Chains A and B, each alone.
Chain A
Amino acid sequence: MIRNLAEILLSLMGVLLFTTLILLIAGAPPFAAYIHIFKGSLGSLNKLSHVLNAWIPLTLCSCGLLYTFRIGLWNIGVEGQVMMGAVFATAALRLGMGGEAPLFYLVLAFAAGIIGGGLWALLAGFLKTRGGVNEIFAGLGLNFVAQGIILWLIFGPWKRPGIASMSGTELFPINLWLPQFPGLRMSPVGLFLAIGAIAVTAMILRYTRIGLQLKAVGGNERAAFLLGLNPARNMLLAMIFAGGFAGLAGTLQVSGIYHRLIPAISSNYGYLALLVVMLSNYDIRIAPLVAFFFACLNVGSIQLPMMLQIDSSLSGVIQGILVLAVLGVQAWRARIKIGTQGVKGSPGGANP
């Protein structure tokens, strides 16, 4: 316990040291930068609502990724799955622009978003199980394709009356927006869904046969097959789960935050969620906390360009170093284990 604490402190100190160094190189005052990140994320209720707005999609994507990591798949395509969820949701909401029964179209948008993300993930899954295309390349390629589809829609069929621009499609009428907390630009629906996703994921992974089978196939595909499981089917299932949650995140981005489709609708949350899950050591209990910390970094660093004339991508640098530090600590721990037990550490395969 004390050693764990010491490890955490040590890696945090390392991260702080490196970040400070980077800031000094960039000629920015480190202390001021940290203060701005802190104030910019947790300084007021309004700021906190922005943090939660980032936390919700991050958490949803992280939940989805837990299924694919559990079975040993690197679902880099999660980013595109968020986008396709957003596209499908937008399509549904556009149908409802006439004015009648907004609630129906909102519900439809959620269903469509989940299906959109799931289908996009299923495509990558089939490329992997049937086509033998590595899921990293399949997913990544599909991310770019999804981005292309969004741009085509914004500049083509869904362009704003008059002029098409990078600012996205036409705003939805206000009755198709998700309800918001009074005085805050934040929807209780998203918060509710994210918390629900954590609960559902924790439950499925822990208490259902699906969770057990994903773990079994991820642990040893061959033995799982001999035990009577179908590895390919389980992989597709994990992909559908991941895509569904990502699609849900995309739907929330469209209906709860931007109220239209914009080119950067996914805000990199998919890629970031991969880091969240890695940093949380693939643990559903830790992932939401890490997601919250990452959301703070993201939102807090938005201030930096204005206040200190440095780029907001500092948050990404800090997040990356954090994951590297944790990987380093794990290696250190494995080495100590070898020293005391004389056992070889498990080789670092692609699987967590």
Chain B
Amino acid sequence: MEIALQNITKDYGSVRANDHVTMRVVPGSIHGLLGENGAGKSTLMKILSGYTPKTDGEIRIDRGIVEYESPAHAAGLGIGMLYQDPLDFPLLSVLENFKLGQSSSDMTALRIRLTDLCRRFGFTLDPDAPLASLTIGERQQLEILRLLEKGIRTLILDEPTTGISGTQKAALFSALKQLADEGRSVILVSHKLEDVEALCDRVTVLRGGKGAGEMDSPFDPDQLMTLMFGTRPKPPPRSAEAPGGPVLNFTSIHARGGRTGLKSCSVLIRENEVVGLAGLEGSGQGVFLRTAAGLIPPLSGEIHLKGQPMKRQNHHGFKRKGVNFLPSGRLEEGLIPGLTLAEHSALQNGGGFWVRWPGAIADAARRITNFRIKGEPNLSVESLSGGNQQRLLLSFLSENPTLLLLENPTRGLDVESANWVWEHLHRFCAKGAAIVFASSELDEILAQADRVMVFFNGAVIKDVRTQETDLRELGLAIAGRA
């Protein structure tokens, strides 16, 4: 089965996720789709799998144009996808998950089919176990078998190697090779070079929603890196202050949360330091920030802030000590939808029984000018653009924080806004604050941080000064090769 995507475009409101992307998949090949987080890979594949309707462009299967509006329809044509957020049912059993969506309703026959397929690919799955008791790798295996049973001839996998063990990865790769040998096509979506190197015959690279180029195996890693990240100017030299006294001290912290939790983390962060946290989404950076903010109580280990133990303190206790936390979900956790800028101002300024509205409106107006927010004091926050929401949140940081914890501080912002945000943040640093931020953009970390910590599978596997490392080294560390 030959698949050709031509000039696929997808708009979410005013945001263009895919911009005239073209790509061709040859039968019996393993095709890689490579790109940074947010390059538009998942969107493109969700369009191919029928989950998301496209805005423009056409899909051809074996040279015929096809139109479909649901994943079930795409599966009928032989295209199936393993989504990044698994679309399966944790409370149901393995066999029930295998069955859902199949035309056959004969449980006994399906049980035999599942066992056969397991044997063929060397997987061991207990049909009666609840899905929730399986690892992510096993859930993937089950999904692959289910799609095969459904008769798919093209299999799309979205970041399948995230969160699975080395042995499971080997099993997965050998299964995928077996599928290609049988004449089926596999599309592997990844932002890890090593996956693509190990498996793919051909690779398409996306950057910023557009096709950046194609390559055949064997690949030149440096060239792929350039395609992925582009040739960007070196970051301007920044006059970093010398690190001062200790601010945050983690002593073998274990914490729950996210996909991996946080494992045995010991870190010291000093005054004036800007620390960037790198790693695949959900490798422990989020848990680190939230533990440091007092939002997740650690299971074991100790946290010291400026030398003081923070046992049994909640976020408000941390806040009183000058810790500021900026979540990445601006409308989910940061701002309150339905409230105006002035109301946010009034909440922020605290104190007193009465709210002095003229004062609050004046304060909001002042923030609007100082932080160059495009908005009005009486506008509700959800009507602001992402960049302006972020500026508003930045305006709520306290004047003299000791520690700033930021999740993706510039996600979704244009270059100018992002630069402005950083200019503003570095000013806190000059006053002696420490900044710890997570970012999916390595460029941003290299440009803004003095020090990088790379997270892999819940642990810090690399902790270096930014001057002593580069994009390639960090990219490898993110993939687990420290």
Query: Could you list which residues of chain A lie within 8 angstroms of chain B, going by C-beta atoms?
Result: 207-213, 215-216, 219-220, 222-230, 342-343
Contacts and interface: CB of A to CB of B under 8 A. Distances in A.
A212 B327 contact: no
A227 B347 contact: yes
Top 8 closest pairs, chain A to chain B, by CB: A219-B336, A220-B336, A219-B338, A223-B336, A222-B333, A216-B336, A223-B333, A212-B355
Contacts of A220: 331-333, 335-337
A223 B335 contact: yes
A211 B353 CA distance: 10
B354 A223 contact: no
7 contacts: A207-B355, A208-B353, A222-B333, A223-B336, A224-B336, A228-B316, A343-B13
Given A215-B338, A223-B335, 7 more contacts: A207-B355, A209-B353, A212-B355, A216-B339, A220-B335, A222-B332, A224-B336
Interface string B324-361: 01010001111111110001001110111111010000
Contacts of A216: 336, 339, 343, 347
Contact of A223 (B316, B334, B355): B334
Contact of B337 (A219, A230, A342): A219
B254 interface: no
A221 to B, nearest CB: 9
Interface in B294-349: 315-316, 319, 325, 327, 331-339, 343, 346-348
A208 B335 contact: no
Interface of B: 13, 315-316, 319, 325, 327, 331-339, 343, 346-348, 350-355, 357, 396
Given A212-B347, A213-B347, A227-B348, A207 B333 contact: no
Given A216-B347, A225-B315, A229-B347, A208 B354 contact: yes
Contact of A207 (B327, B337, B343, B354): B354
B334 A226 contact: yes
B411 to A, nearest CB: 17
A228 B350 contact: yes
Contacts of A215: 336, 338-339, 343
Contacts of A342: 13
A212 B357 CA distance: 11
Nearest to A209: B355
B335 A212 contact: no
A209 B336 contact: no
Nearest to B339: A219
Contacts, number: 63
A320 B132 CA distance: 43
Given A226-B315, A227-B348, A228-B319, A208 B355 contact: yes
A212 B13 CA distance: 32
Contacts of B357: 207
Contacts of B338: 215, 219
A222 B13 CA distance: 27
A22 B331 CA distance: 46
A258 B62 CA distance: 84
A228 B349 CA distance: 11
Contacts of B352: 209
A290 to B, nearest CB: 22
Contacts of B336: 215-216, 219-220, 223-224, 227
Contacts of B327: 226
Contacts of A208: 353-355
Nearest to A341: B13
A210 B396 CA distance: 20
Pick the most buried of B316, B332, B355, B396: most chain A CB atoms within 10 A of its CB. B355
B315 to A, nearest CB: 7
Contacts of A226: 315, 325, 327, 333-334
Contacts of A224: 336
Contacts of B396: 227
Contacts of B316: 228, 230
A175 B351 CA distance: 46
B313 to A, nearest CB: 14
B65 to A, nearest CB: 26
Contacts of B354: 207-209
A209 B350 CA distance: 8
B338 to A, nearest CB: 5
Contacts of B350: 209, 228
Contacts of A211: 355
A211 B343 CA distance: 11
A98 to B, nearest CB: 40
Contact of A212 (B325, B334, B346): B346
A223 B346 CA distance: 15
Nearest to A221: B336
Contacts of B348: 227
B52 to A, nearest CB: 14
A224, A226, A228, A230 interface centre (most CB from chain B within 10 Å): A226
B249 to A, nearest CB: 23
Most buried by A among B331, B334, B396: B334
Nearest to A225: B315
A214 to B, nearest CB: 11
Contacts of B332: 220, 222-223
Nearest to B357: A207
A345 to B, nearest CB: 13
A210 B351 CA distance: 11
B424 to A, nearest CB: 20
A136 B315 CA distance: 30
A342 B332 CA distance: 21
Nearest to A351: B338
Contacts of B351: 209
A324 to B, nearest CB: 24
A33 B401 CA distance: 69
Contacts of B319: 228
B101 to A, nearest CB: 26
A208 B334 CA distance: 22
Nearest to B325: A226
A210 B347 CA distance: 10
A213 B351 CA distance: 12
A149 B337 CA distance: 42
B257 to A, nearest CB: 15
Contacts of B355: 207-209, 211-212
A212 B349 CA distance: 12
Nearest to A211: B355
Nearest to B330: A223
Nearest to A213: B347
Nearest to B360: A212
Contacts of B335: 220, 223
A223 B333 CA distance: 4
Contacts of A209: 346, 350-355
A220 to B, nearest CB: 4
A127 B343 CA distance: 30
